């Protein structure tokens, strides 16, 4: 039907625009670099981890951002 053809065409157009946008952004972001050692690689040495291990599970930590504690280990 005509409606389904328009839906397919719209999906293709949106996909192409998204692909072009992601390509453009990836060429503009040049200040990002890989670090040799992330916080997660040193989690065994974390003094916070040592304190939390002594507590009964599950320990809850509140941070300033919703994902800050997750990404820093």
Q: What is the pLDDT along the chain (73 residues), one digit of tens a residue?
A: 888 999 999 999 999 999 999 999 988 888 878 888 887 788 888 888 888 888 887 777 777 877 877 776 5
Query: Does the predicted TM-score (pTM) go above 0.85?
Result: no
* Burial class of residue 72, CB neighbours in 10 A (0-12, 13-18, 19+): middle
Tokens of 12: 């293709």
């Amino acid at each position: 039907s005509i409606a389904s053809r328009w839906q397919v065409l719209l999906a293709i157009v949106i996909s192409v625009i998204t692909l072009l946008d992601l390509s453009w952004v990836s060429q503009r972001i040049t200040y990002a670099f890989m670090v040799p050692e992330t916080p997660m690689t040193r989690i065994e040495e974390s003094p916070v981890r040592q304190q939390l291990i002594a507590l009964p599970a599950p320990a809850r930590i509140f941070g300033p951002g919703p994902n800050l504690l997750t990404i820093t280990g």
